[in-house]
Structure 1
Amino acid sequence: MAGFSQRVPAPMDISMVAHPSVTLLIDLSEGDGIVYDAHGGTGLGSVVIGLLPGELRASGRVGTCLQIRLEPALATAVFGASAELSGSLASLDDVWGRRAGRAEDRLRAAGSWHERFAIATELLGRRLDAAPRVDPEVAHIWRRTLAGRGRVRVEGLADEVGWSRGRLCARFRSQLGITPKRAARLVRFDHAAHLLAAGRPAADVAAASGYVDQSHLHRDVREFTGLTPTAVARAPWLAIDDVAWPDTRPGGKPATK
């Protein structure tokens, strides 16, 4: 989790970079709030961003916002219908109904970020306790994909869990809303994007991330973000990643900016 707050709401216009998680942005601003633009459609206020949003921009006058990133296996339990969240932008109202407004009211009334994080943890935990989990094999394959930074083979992963490739792809997609191969590409892209943001030359990033060449990297960056590698390297979302989210394991301490 990460919290962002400005005493006086200020205009914002930012390109958000695809990330190997489902992202929940809870808009706690008073007034106009955040406007999202993706795939030619727009949304306003709190939003759930699927795994592969492509080119996504956020703008408007922003005061206070809580961002929560969930690995896909957890997002399936928290939001349900994970396939509908892959590659999509959904209003939190559409996903949670009236509970979304009640959650926003509680978070907005909280006296500190510490209290907001505690409330968010309670709300998510309550849904996790009541929801079915993904197959342990699917969760294992997602963790292996992350650990391998996307440089994994689907056949090898299927062998690890004793499934056929067809069964693996079907179960993975039905539960996480993405194929194993596509998930690996997204994770590999995410690793490359952070290397670009750290100032590494594109050619070096391509080699370090397992791309055939620099043009291969360029195609993936363009597909996932609609941006060039140079533009991705300047993305503010990436610049603060390691500061705002230093520990994504359960129990990790959240930070605010």
Structure 2
Amino acid sequence: MNPTCYREYPEEGLACSWTAALPRDGEPYVQRVVPDGCVDLMWSERGILVAGPDTGPVPATVRPGDSVVAVRFGPGAAPPVLGVPADAIRDGRLPLRELWGGEADRLAEAVARAADPRGALVAAVRARMRPPDPAVPAVVAALAGSSVREAADRVGLSERQLRRRSLAAFGYGPKTLQRVLRFQRALRLARAGVPLADAALAAGYSDQAHFAHEVRDLAGEPIRNLL
């Protein structure tokens, strides 16, 4: 059971915003974060942290007394806001000030003063939002059911161009992006109650064993621990 009162909120143009908090008399809680192609911008009293797109499981520790508000960018949406290509922050956890300098500190102070910290962070992100690479939705759609070569043909790029654009937008090459998106599709279905074998086939795996192998490879634990 997650004791951090973690809660997600729908946000137009974003994957979501979210909050988490742990009482001061609680015990430290470690949540295993698995790859989803997303980028998170997380505020706490220690400042604002950027969590880049992951390629494997990452332990995230919430300490007693922590209160976190965050914005989650869907795959491909973060680079125009952060000002860096996604592969520059892949598997990274870094202070936002390394990317924005003093502006990050001013934003952290503004969020701390706000009556609605989550709303303040969301508003600041929205003010910086720009359209992502126009190839982003086409690449995601093409990779859902095609090989990398077929996907490149469908979006009108060479395989080399697709790899370069994919790294910059998502932080992954197209093959890794395809694996992560397929894993997340199957996981969503399984969490919705779809039998594992059916979820695996619907997401594009050859069978349930293939899905189970990918879960262990990407998440570092069996599927039952993620449901």
- C-alpha separation in 1, matches of 2:122 and 2:116: 14
- Partner amino acid for 1:75? A
Task: Write out per-residue CA displacement over residues 10-52 of structure 1, whole angstroms, 9 at most, x where no aligned residue.
Answer: 4322212221211222224xxxx7xxxxxxxxxxx64222222
Which residue in 2 is equivalent to 1:18?
35
Which residue in 2 is equivalent to 1:239?
none
Q: Is 1:90 equivalent to 2:83 in the alignment? A: no
Which residue in 1 is equivalent to 2:7?
none
- Partner amino acid for 2:31? I
- Partner amino acid for 2:33? M
Check whether the contact 1:10–1:63 (CA below 8 A) recurs between aligned residues. Answer: no
Matched residues, percent identical? 25
- Partner amino acid for 2:138? I
Q: TM-score, normalised by structure 2?
A: 0.77
Check whether the contact 2:71–2:122 (CA below 8 A) recurs between aligned residues. Answer: no
Check whether the contact 2:42–2:68 (CA below 8 A) recurs between aligned residues. Answer: yes
What's the Cα RMSD here?
A: 2.7
Which residue in 2 is equivalent to 1:42?
none
> How much has 1:9 moved relative to structure 2?
6.6
> How much has 1:8 moved relative to structure 2?
5.0
> How much has 1:187 moved relative to structure 2?
0.9
Which residue in 2 is equivalent to 1:141?
138
Task: Write out per-residue CA displacement over residues 96-129 of structure 1, whole angstroms, 9 at most, x where no aligned residue.
Answer: 333322222211211135xx31x22332234335
Which residue in 2 is equivalent to 1:173?
167
Cα distance change on mapping 1:9 and 1:160 into 2, 3 Å: farther
Check whether the contact 1:196–1:229 (CA below 8 A) recurs between aligned residues. Answer: no
Which residue in 1 is equivalent to 2:202?
208
Structure 2, gaps ≥5 residues long: 1-16
- C-alpha separation in 1, matches of 2:125 and 2:149: 34
Q: TM-score, normalised by structure 1?
A: 0.69
Equivalences for residues 89-238 of structure 1 within 5 A: 89-112=93-116, 116-117=118-119, 119-128=120-129, 134-136=132-134, 138-144=135-141, 150-233=144-227
Structure 1, gaps ≥5 residues long: 34-44, 234-257
**Number of residue equivalences:** 208
> How much has 1:95 moved relative to structure 2?
3.0
* Greater relative contact order (Cα < 8 A, sep 6+): 1
Alignment match of 2:80 (pick from 77, 81, 84): 77
- Partner amino acid for 1:20? G
Structure in which a larger fraction of residues adopt helix: 1
- C-alpha separation in 1, matches of 2:153 and 2:175: 15
Equivalences for residues 9-88 of structure 1 within 5 A: 10-11=26-27, 12-28=29-45, 46-59=48-61, 60-79=63-82, 80-88=84-92
